[in-house]
Structure 1
């Protein structure tokens, strides 16, 4: 199964990272290098992000049951958001330490920094390659991958700093490399928090404009009006849509629904579509019937009296 293959690639990357991280911590303290220690701390978040990804993959694979009607698919998004937040928090701490070292740089062994960073580049290249084989359309896996790629760039910066310290004795290069790591962590962390936040807030998937979707659907034959249109993502890569569609009196509601679902599938890759299709004026007729011939417990239909979002109509006045 694809999910099993993804897990194997993630476990391989995790093993590489944990083994190297343990050695880097020892060398970092021996060399008094904040750049190496910050890289090791980032590798710790790499390992944590992969562990979270593995746990989230297992949870999201569980079938829907009970009150969790979508299953636990958004466990992956929780994992991605946790990865983003840890990057942001860790970058704040490393920035504080780096500024202190810019003011008062300690003695750093440039040779140890250079050799360790070069080995780190190789290890992160191998880990990134392993993770690139997994399904990166999942925001969860992409979050863990971004951790590793950010660490790869960080090791390159640290190797450059080690070479500068070894050849020129400029000790502040270590702190400058740490600040470069911080900038990379902030960029990756912000992107993960933003993307996972959009899913939690039920925003439309990136690249899909709900108004454009509605305009296309309302232009279909026999469609008169579309309202209560909602587009969101159940989890990364799984968009869903719901809408109330009104068709012309006498129109074939089932044929219209099938045609709209086909358009959504082919043009937007939305396969989870819940469309309520009614004839225009049907509600008013039902309301009138209940007023003239009330029954016990009857309630006026009057649904969608206060629709959510814009109303799209066919003809010259669509919104």
Structure 2
């Protein structure tokens, strides 16, 4: 059932991504043409950001298709971790765009006389770009809660929407005051909005790739819950990691009373442990090694 549920999510995510790609591609064409006509760096920055959005969405779509492939004897968890690599690529793209825009903006601020900005086309195209971003966000919103890959795509488009808002504000300032530097300042604002989201996405992707315990799981709390299970004495060699965002895997050596083995309560104890982790920690897959108290004396102490 969990396998079918996961593939249902992936199929829906694929449809969302295809529609979002079409919408963002239209917005990119409009913004690129507008940037050339208006001479706006903020609009060019937003076009570059939207181009990275489009690339990121395509990467996310490819990742979704690959992640849907079934597990095999070698890829025992399937290909779901490819979503994490896609999120890593998205984060790096965002940082690259932000750095390029920041350098250009500073250059224009230092030498503003060499660049003319036309406020009207800048305003019109900024509004059009913002509208396409809103549509794409609505399309992607349903998948952002359960997949790091979809969250990366969603954050790409959200950052571009905020960029479009900055373009509109800058164009209004240029039109009403003639202060052309507002365009460069607007592009720096876009950069400032991109970097924190890109960094957060990269940090989450790296955490999953390093096999770190999920941030919302306290292993001491897990041990406490396990120890509260009838027949359980303690737990050691406790590990928790994620295949991809939302797919937590857990393993532990669980020391139990000898009565558990003598009274044939192994199945009952395993079921209780599975229910405990699923209910309190939303663990997708758990593996327990039940052992008597003196067994730990024969094991190498190499894990937490």
Paired residues of 1:164 and 1:170 also in contact (CA < 8 A): yes
Cross-structure match for 1:62: 69
Please show how residues 103-122 of structure 1 align to structure 2 within 5 Å.
Answer: 103-105=110-112, 106-122=115-131
Cross-structure match for 1:257: 270
| 1:306 CA displacement | 1.3
Q: How many equivalent residue pairs?
A: 291
Q: What is the DSSP-based 3-state SS (H/G/I as helix, E as strand, rest coil) of the residue aligned with 2:92?
A: helix
User: Which of 48, 52, 57 is equivalent to 2:55?
Assistant: 48
| 1:19 CA displacement | 1.7
TM-score scaled by length of structure 2? 0.92
Paired residues of 1:10 and 1:134 also in contact (CA < 8 A): no
**Is the aligned partner of 1:89 residue 2:96?**
yes
User: Which of 302, 305, 308 is equivalent to 2:303?
Assistant: 308
Cross-structure match for 1:241: 250
| 1:282 CA displacement | 4.2
Structure 1 window deviating more from structure 2 (131-140 vs 94-103): it is: 131-140
Cross-structure match for 2:35: 28
Q: Tell me, which stretches of 5 or more residues in structure 2 are unaligned?
A: 1-7
Please give the per-residue CA displacement for 1:33-57, whole angstroms capped at 9, x wherever unaligned.
1111111110011111111111111
Please give the per-residue CA displacement for 1:217-259, whole angstroms capped at 9, x wherever unaligned.
1132222221110011111111110000111222233322221
Structure 1 window deviating more from structure 2 (230-239 vs 216-225): it is: 216-225
Cross-structure match for 1:72: 79
Q: Tell me, which stretches of 5 or more residues in structure 1 are unaligned?
A: 285-301, 310-319
Distance change in 2, residues 1:135/1:33 (3 Å): closer
Q: What is the DSSP-based 3-state SS (H/G/I as helix, E as strand, rest coil) of the residue aligned with 1:230?
A: strand
Paired residues of 2:249 and 2:286 also in contact (CA < 8 A): yes
User: Which of 285, 290, 294 is equivalent to 1:277?
Assistant: 290
Please give the per-residue CA displacement for 1:17-71, whole angstroms capped at 9, x wherever unaligned.
1122123212212211111111111001111111111111111110111321111
In the aligned structure 2, how far is the partner of 1:283 from the partner of 1:131? 49
Cross-structure match for 2:175: 166
CA-based RMSD of the aligned residues comes to: 1.5
Q: What is the DSSP-based 3-state SS (H/G/I as helix, E as strand, rest coil) of the residue aligned with 1:232?
A: strand
| 1:154 CA displacement | 0.6
Distance change in 2, residues 1:173/1:69 (3 Å): same
TM-score scaled by length of structure 1? 0.88
Which of the two has higher C-alpha Rg?
1
Structure 1 window deviating more from structure 2 (140-149 vs 220-229): it is: 220-229
In the aligned structure 2, how far is the partner of 1:135 from the partner of 1:91? 23
Which structure carries more helix by proportion?
2
Cross-structure match for 2:213: 204
